[in-house]
Structure 1
C-alpha cells in the first residue's frame, strides 16, 4: 500500500524541442522473462530436503504421532518412578559414602548395611508393584483381547484411537511459565510480591518496584519460589549493583516486604546481575535442633553440621586447623553459637577444649567436658597463664613433626590432642592476654593450637589486623555497620554482606538471634545462616555424659617439648583485679615483644601510642619528636610510680640502662608489680 503524500511536490521538467516530424515507436512483442528464474536442478538437495521435512513436520498426523509418543513416554516414566521410587538414588549415595570411609571398619560396616537394606527395600517395592499391576492388568487385558477377537477391525481401530487420544492428552505442549520478562512495555504500578501467583508475575512485580525507584534493568528473571519467599535475578541496564543494595530499604515498601526483608547479592560472574531474595516469612521456621553427638564419636577432621542456610542447605565444616571469630551484639545469639561449636568439639576424641571468659560464665553448660577453664574478671592471671602455655606448645610442636613423621601439620590423637581455646568477650582481656592470643593466631594453626574468639563488636584496637591475617572462619550476627568492614573487608557491605540489618533479641521476641553471615570454610555467598539450637538443659546432659566417657589431656611429648610440667592454670596464677591500666598496658608491651628481659622506653611508648592514641600518641606531647619522647617517658615513669604507690608495693620503677643502649624497664620489675613474681613487699 502506498502512503499518500499530503504536500504535492512539483518536479522541474526540462523543455523539450519541438519535433520536426512524426516519431516512429518500436514495440517489443516478445513475452517477458522473470527477473529471477532458476531451474529446479540449481537448488541443492539439502535445501529440497529441508523444505520437504518442514512441510511433513507441520502435517497434523506427524504432530499427533509426536505428541502420542511423548505422552506414552511420560506415562512410562511415571510408572517406573512408582516402581523404584527414590531407592536407586539412596543406594548410590550410600555406596558413595561407603567409598569415602575406606579404612574405617565401623563406618564401612554401617554403610554396607545401609546398602544391603536399601537394595532389599528396592526389591520388595518392585515385587509389590508387579503384583499390584498384574492383578489389575490381567482382567483388563483379557476383556480387551476377547473384544478384539469378536469385534475385529473396528474394535482394533477404536483401541488405536483411544491410545492416540491418551498419548496426545499427556504429550501435548503445556502452557509455559517462563519466569522472565523482557523490558519493552510501559511500566505499570508496583504491586505486593504476595500477589504473585507464578514466576512471571513475580518477575513483573520486581521489575515494577525497581522502575518505581528509578533503577533501569534489562531483564528480570524469577528463579525459584521457597516457602519463605522468592529468589529473583536482575540484569541491570546501567549503573552498578550498589545502586540496588543501597535502595533495598526503599524497595521493601512497593514490594510490601517486612523490614529488612530484601536481601541483595551481586553476582561475581557478571557484575551487571544482582540476586534478590524477597523474604516474606522466617526461612528457619522448620529447622531441626542440634543432632545427637555421642561421646568421643567424632574426630576433629570430620565435617559436622553447625548451621543451615536460608535455602535449606546445611553448612558443615571441619574445624581442624581453623581459627574462628564470632561477632554479635548483645542479644544476637553469641552464646548459642559458642555453645554449638563447643558441643561439636567436646564430642571429638582428639580435641582438648579450653573455656576463657573474663566477663561471664563461658561454656558453663558443657563445663564438665571442658579441659581447662578460667572465667570471671578476677581470673585474668589464669587466662594469661593458659594462653602462655598454649603459645609455648604451639611453638614447640613443629620441632616434633619430623621425629613423629607428621608431615607439615600436627596430627591430633586422643593421646596428644588439638587444643582449642574458646575466648568470649575478647576485648575485655588484658593487653598481655590479647598479645598472647594474637601470637597464637599467627603460629598455632600448624600445631593445631587454635582459638575461637567472640566479641560484641569488632574494634580495631582489640582485634585489629589479626582477623584479616589469620582467621579462616568469620561469623557475624546482628552487629554494627562498621563491623562489616572490620571483619569481612572493605566493600563487603556493597556486595551483600549486611549483618547490620539483622536484629538482636528484645525481651521475649527472639528476632534474628542465632542468624549470621558466614565467610570462610566453603561459604562465599552473603546468605543468612542460622546456627543449630542447643538448649542449656541438653548441653548440660551432654557435658556430663562426655566427662564420664573421658576427655583427652595434653600429652607428655608436647609438654616436654614446650618445657611445661602441666597444662592449665593454678590458684597461684590468679591475678589481682585492681591493677591499674598502665601496669597492664606495659605488661602487654612486653608480651608483644615475646617477653624480653629488657625493653627500651621508646618501644613501650610506641606500643602505648598504638593501643591508646588519645593518651599516648607522640603528637600528644608536642611537634618536636625528641622532646615529645622525653615528655612521654616522664609521664610513663610518673604513672608507674603512682600505680606502685596505690598498690602499696616496695618496687622501684626507675629505668635502667643496658650497656651502650637506651634506658628502659626490666621484665622482672613489671612482673613484681603484676604479682607474677614471688618478690613482693609490704
Structure 2
C-alpha cells in the first residue's frame, strides 16, 4: 500500500489564512488548533485587494513555472521511493517490536522471528522486481529519446525539452481549489500505524495488517494475523490471540467495525474448535448472496426423506444440503425475517419425497397454502384449535404404536420410511399460538416420534420461555434461526451459542421494500457445525402451486393401515371433532404434564411443576419467590380447582418409594371426557 510522504503532504497542503475584516474589533473566542486538510475559502470570502495581492505573489513565485517543474520531479521521486519501500520498513519495524515484546514467551518469539524473516525476504524480492521494472522502463524511454534526437536534430531536442519541463510542471502544480467548489468537508489524516479501512487493502498482507491495527486499537492482544481467502463480499482473516478468548472479539465486533470501516453488523467471528486461541473473522463489505441459484425442479415422488436436498446457499459459496430423516427441527425468525420462505422451501422438499406424508398445521396463519394440493392433512386457523389438538393426539398414538411394530415389520431399531410405510412430518407454524394441550402433545411427540419417523417441524417468530421450553430445545436436533432477538439464541441454541459465533440477533428483518436479511439464517445441526450465514432459496407462490398440482396428480403416499390400526385412529373423522370444555388452568396443566411425559403411572410434584412452570408464566417463580414457594402456590390452586370439579376428589400427594406426588388415575378422574 503506497502512502504520500510527509514532504508531499506538506507541499500540497494549502495555507490557512485569517482575514481581518471586522472593523478593527479583535476576534474573541477559543482558538482551536486546526486538524486535517484545509479547504480553500470561496470567492465571496476573499476581498478584491487580497485577490490582486495573491495574483502578484503567484506570478513572482512561479516565474517561468520552473519551480513547478522542480517540485514535480521531486514529487515523482518521492512517489518512486514510496513504491520502492511499499510500507515494508514499517511492517518490519512493527514485527521487530512484537519480537522485542515477546521476551519470555518462546512460542510467540519464534512466530515473531518467522514473521520478521518472511517480511525481509518479501522486501528483497519486491525491490528486485520493482528495480527491474524501473530499469526496463528507463532503458526503453532512453533509447527512444536518443534515437529521436539523433534522427530529428535540434527541433526534436527542443520539443523533448519542452515536454520534459511541461511534464514536471504538471506534476508540480500547486493544489488549486476552484472558488465555486465548497465541499464543506475536511479529512483527518491518519497517524503512523493507525487503523485504516479494509477497503484500502489490495493484498493479503495489507488486509492482515489492517485487521492487526484494528484489533490493537481496541486493546485486543493478538499474536498472529493471517489473511485467508478474499471473496466478492469481503475478506476472511484468521487470528490467533495472545490472551483472552474469541468471545472477546465477538463482544467487540461492533466497535471493530468503525476502524475497519465496515457496514453495521459487517464483522462476523467464528471461534475454531481445534484451538481456543484462534478465530476466523469475516469482514463483510457486500452481500454474499447476490448470485442465488434457483431451487431444483423436483419431480413428483423423485426424492426420499434420507436424501440431502439443496435448500440454501452458504456465505462462503457452498450449497446448503440437508437431510430430514429422523430429525425434528425448529425455525425461528421475527416478522419479516423470511420464516415463510424457509418453511415453504422445506415443504417443497418434503412434498417431492415418495416416502413422506406432510401434515400442515397453523393456528395463526395460512400455513403451506401454495403447497396445499400435495399435503396430506391441513388444518389452519385459530378457530380450528380443537381439530389441531385432535390431529396431534392421533399422531402421538401412531408414534407410540409404531414402536411396537418395528420388530414385526423387520425394521430394526428405527422406522424405515417407504411408499408403503411413509414417514410423517407435521409442519406447525406459529407454534406459540397453540393451546396448552396442543403444546403438550407436541412435546410428547418430540420425545417418542423420532424412532417412529413421526417428526415435527416448528416455526415461530420468537422463542419465549413459556412457548419454547427446555423440552423443546433438548429434543430438536436441527435449529434454523433467522433475524431474531438475543434471548431467542439462548432459548433455542443454548447459553454459549452467542459466544461461539451464532449471532442471528445481528441480522435484520425486511423493512418495507428493503429485504435486508430476510431469508438469511444460522443453522445448527444436520451436519452444519460452523456459525456461517445461510440464505434460503426463495420460490414464488405460483411456482409452489404448479409443483403441488403436479405432485397431487402423480399421487402422494398416505399413512399405512398397519400403523393406523395399531394406534386405533383414523383421520377421516376430523370433521366430527367438537370443541372441548375448558378446564381450570391448574388442573389442565397437571394433566398436560402427564401427557407431555407419555402418561406415566405417576409423577412427583417436582416433575409436574417442572413442566407447569415452563408452560405458563403464571406458575413460574415470581421476582421474590423461591421455587418451593411457587410449587406450593400451584399445589394450593390445584386443590381448590379440583374441588370445584369434584368436591370429593382426594388431591393430597401420595408417597411411594423414591418420590411423592400424584397418580395419573387421580388426575384423569377429574378430566375424564373433557380434556382427552
Match of 1:670 in 2: 671
**What SS is found at the alignment partner of 1:474?**
strand
**What SS is found at the alignment partner of 1:238?**
coil
Once residues 568 and 621 of structure 1 are traced to their aligned partners in structure 2, the CA distance between those partners, rounded to angstroms, is: 49
Match of 1:385 in 2: 390
When residues 521 and 633 of structure 1 are mapped into structure 2, their CA distance, relative to the original with a 3 A threshold, is: closer
Once residues 239 and 310 of structure 2 are traced to their aligned partners in structure 1, the CA distance between those partners, rounded to angstroms, is: 32
Q: Does 1:196 align with 2:201?
A: yes
Match of 2:616 in 1: 612
Q: Does 1:591 align with 2:585?
A: no
Q: How far off is 1:264 after superposition?
A: 0.6
When residues 659 and 277 of structure 1 are mapped into structure 2, their CA distance, relative to the original with a 3 A threshold, is: closer
When residues 556 and 329 of structure 1 are mapped into structure 2, their CA distance, relative to the original with a 3 A threshold, is: same
Q: How far off is 1:366 after superposition?
A: 0.6
Match of 2:547 in 1: 542
Once residues 626 and 305 of structure 2 are traced to their aligned partners in structure 1, the CA distance between those partners, rounded to angstroms, is: 54
Select between 225-234 and 555-564 the one with higher mean Cα deviation. Answer: 555-564
Deviations 1:44-96 (A, max 9, x none): xxxxxxxxxxxxxxxxxxxxxxxxxxxxxxxxxxxxxxxxxxxxxxxxxxxxx
Confirm or deny: 8 A CA contact 2:582 2:674 kept in the other structure: no
**What SS is found at the alignment partner of 2:458?**
strand
Confirm or deny: 8 A CA contact 2:327 2:477 kept in the other structure: yes
Match of 1:635 in 2: 637
Once residues 614 and 369 of structure 1 are traced to their aligned partners in structure 2, the CA distance between those partners, rounded to angstroms, is: 41
Match of 2:449 in 1: 444
Select between 555-564 and 274-283 the one with higher mean Cα deviation. Answer: 555-564
Once residues 659 and 278 of structure 1 are traced to their aligned partners in structure 2, the CA distance between those partners, rounded to angstroms, is: 60
Q: Pick the aligned partner of 2:649 from 639, 655, 675.
A: 655
Q: Does 1:526 align with 2:560?
A: no
When residues 230 and 589 of structure 1 are mapped into structure 2, their CA distance, relative to the original with a 3 A threshold, is: same
Match of 1:308 in 2: 313
Confirm or deny: 8 A CA contact 1:394 1:444 kept in the other structure: yes
Q: Pick the aligned partner of 2:254 from 249, 257, 264.
A: 249
Q: Does 1:263 align with 2:265?
A: no
Count, aligned residues: 479
Larger Rg: 1
Confirm or deny: 8 A CA contact 2:639 2:651 kept in the other structure: no
When residues 247 and 633 of structure 1 are mapped into structure 2, their CA distance, relative to the original with a 3 A threshold, is: closer
Confirm or deny: 8 A CA contact 1:597 1:667 kept in the other structure: no
When residues 210 and 323 of structure 1 are mapped into structure 2, their CA distance, relative to the original with a 3 A threshold, is: same
The 5-angstrom pairing of residues 245-644 of structure 1 reads 245-564=250-569, 566-567=570-571, 570-575=574-579, 581=585, 584-592=588-596, 594-595=598-599, 608-612=612-616, 614-615=618-619, 629=632, 632=634, 635-636=637-638
Q: How far off is 1:316 after superposition?
A: 0.7
Confirm or deny: 8 A CA contact 1:421 1:452 kept in the other structure: yes
Q: How far off is 1:217 after superposition?
A: 1.7
Once residues 559 and 394 of structure 1 are traced to their aligned partners in structure 2, the CA distance between those partners, rounded to angstroms, is: 10
Q: How far off is 1:301 after superposition?
A: 1.2
When residues 441 and 266 of structure 1 are mapped into structure 2, their CA distance, relative to the original with a 3 A threshold, is: same
Q: How far off is 1:303 after superposition?
A: 1.0
Deviations 1:278-330 (A, max 9, x none): 10111001011222111111111111111110011001111111111111111
Q: TM-score, normalised by structure 1?
A: 0.65
Q: How far off is 1:469 after superposition?
A: 2.7
Once residues 529 and 621 of structure 1 are traced to their aligned partners in structure 2, the CA distance between those partners, rounded to angstroms, is: 42
Confirm or deny: 8 A CA contact 1:432 1:589 kept in the other structure: no
RMSD (Å), alpha carbons: 3.2
Deviations 1:628-671 (A, max 9, x none): 85x755534655788xxxxxxxx757525799997985536425
Q: How far off is 1:621 after superposition?
A: 9.8
Confirm or deny: 8 A CA contact 1:230 1:278 kept in the other structure: yes
**What SS is found at the alignment partner of 2:383?**
coil
Match of 1:647 in 2: none
Q: How far off is 1:378 after superposition?
A: 1.6
Once residues 474 and 506 of structure 2 are traced to their aligned partners in structure 1, the CA distance between those partners, rounded to angstroms, is: 26
Match of 2:165 in 1: none
Once residues 429 and 595 of structure 2 are traced to their aligned partners in structure 1, the CA distance between those partners, rounded to angstroms, is: 20
Deviations 1:4-43 (A, max 9, x none): xxxxxxxxxxxxxxxxxxxxxxxxxxxxxxxxxxxxxxxx
Confirm or deny: 8 A CA contact 2:469 2:614 kept in the other structure: no
When residues 574 and 203 of structure 1 are mapped into structure 2, their CA distance, relative to the original with a 3 A threshold, is: farther
When residues 275 and 610 of structure 1 are mapped into structure 2, their CA distance, relative to the original with a 3 A threshold, is: closer
**What SS is found at the alignment partner of 2:280?**
strand
**What SS is found at the alignment partner of 2:223?**
strand
Confirm or deny: 8 A CA contact 2:465 2:614 kept in the other structure: no
Q: Which structure 1 residue ranges, 5 or more long, are not aligned? A: 1-185, 643-650, 677-682
Q: How far off is 1:461 after superposition?
A: 2.6
Confirm or deny: 8 A CA contact 1:618 1:632 kept in the other structure: no
Deviations 1:608-637 (A, max 9, x none): 455335447599999997x985x7555346
Once residues 311 and 206 of structure 1 are traced to their aligned partners in structure 2, the CA distance between those partners, rounded to angstroms, is: 20
Q: Which structure 2 residue ranges, 5 or more long, are not aligned? A: 1-190, 656-661
When residues 235 and 616 of structure 1 are mapped into structure 2, their CA distance, relative to the original with a 3 A threshold, is: closer
Once residues 263 and 398 of structure 1 are traced to their aligned partners in structure 2, the CA distance between those partners, rounded to angstroms, is: 44
Once residues 514 and 258 of structure 2 are traced to their aligned partners in structure 1, the CA distance between those partners, rounded to angstroms, is: 23
Select between 605-614 and 304-313 the one with higher mean Cα deviation. Answer: 605-614
